[in-house]
Structure 1
């Protein structure tokens, strides 16, 4: 049975935009594992695999179902130890946990505000209604008010990347000479922004821009297989 990766998409099923899905796509490619894509909208997720998840990515690998990008990476490392490592040992797992926390607490909220109307506008009508209702309940503001706050985040976004910038001055990837899952975590966030929003958050000449370009080229240019917004 071929592996199947359920991915979040809008109206255009060829443009998966979830940062967590992109972590998993690169993880599978890193391991050299073939997989098929199954694009779904927000409101389709609870119906997947007899209600197996409320989130994507969701990976079916034979009889095994795994959800959550970090749990999928841990599963792949355990199930395919003979293939290229995603963590490089226990220290790499601990580092990836820290990077994930930093990315989700620092980068994701800002990108979410900047791109919130772009995300909404990319969805099918049924998913637009769900997205507006759920996000406005979560934030206590209209999407338009959230987007207005996001405009002020664009110029300041570069400062959020200082820890990454500091590290990349000494090495080409967070993993050192080669990428590890920690790289895919941050790449997923920035790929999300690249695919869903026309706002350009990285400037040429920045070491983070150069790192992101290297990540786009990984695994036969998997990241570039979806063009920028």
Structure 2
């Protein structure tokens, strides 16, 4: 049976942008697995697989339905051991957990702070209403007041990336000699920004941008198949 990946989209269903969904799109390609995608706008997420959960990605593989990007990666690793490993070992799995925690506390808040209105403009009317209502309730202010791109904010973000930058100067991939799920975690965050916004916080000669370009080229250019904003 087909593997189905449910992905978050705006009004253009050919431009998935969720960082978590991108992790799994890349993981599936890494494993050499055939799959198809189902585009899901914000207001339809709760209906995926009969209301399976309230977030995507959701993966259906035959009778199995799995939600949460890390859980899906673990499922793929266990179910398809003949494909290229995503973690390599239990130590690699643990390191990927750390990378995910770091990315969600360092890169994701920054992308939100600079690109929230860009995401809003990508949505249809029903999703815009939902997005504004839920995000303004969470942040306690209008969307327009959340976004800020002042140089000090961008520079602070760049400094926070120094551990990543230093790692990529010592080795080609976050996972070491070959890409792994840790790379796809961080790639998903930068791909999120690339797909939704023209804002570029890092210089093109930054080691991180070199790594990101290599990620875009992986798996027959899977990341580049969706053009930048």
- 1:41 corresponds to which residue? 41
Q: Which moved more, 1:174-183 or 1:150-159?
A: 150-159
Over 2 Å off, 4+ runs:
149-157
Separation of aligned partners in 2, 1:49 and 1:23 = 20
Alignment of 1:93-112 (within 5 A): 93-112=93-112
- 2:160 corresponds to which residue? 160
Q: TM-score, normalised by structure 2?
A: 0.97
- 1:114 corresponds to which residue? 114
Separation of aligned partners in 2, 1:80 and 1:71 = 14
Separation of aligned partners in 2, 1:114 and 1:163 = 22
What is the Cα deviation at residue 200 of structure 1? Answer: 1.1
Q: 1:57 to 1:151 in 2, by over 3 A?
A: farther
Q: Please report the RMSD computed on the Cα atoms of aligned residues, expressed in angstroms.
A: 1.0
What is the Cα deviation at residue 150 of structure 1? Answer: 4.5
- 2:79 corresponds to which residue? 79
Which segments of 5 or more consecutive residues in structure 2 lack a partner in the other structure? Answer: none
Aligned 8 A contact 1:114 1:151 in 2: no
Aligned 8 A contact 1:77 1:85 in 2: yes
Aligned 8 A contact 1:114 1:154 in 2: no
The answer as to 2:66 corresponding to 1:66 is: yes
- 2:124 corresponds to which residue? 124
Separation of aligned partners in 1, 2:46 and 2:217 = 33
Aligned residue pairs, count: 228
Separation of aligned partners in 2, 1:224 and 1:160 = 26
Q: TM-score, normalised by structure 1?
A: 0.97
Q: Deviations over 1:29-72 (max 9, x none)?
A: 00000110100100000011111010000000111001111000
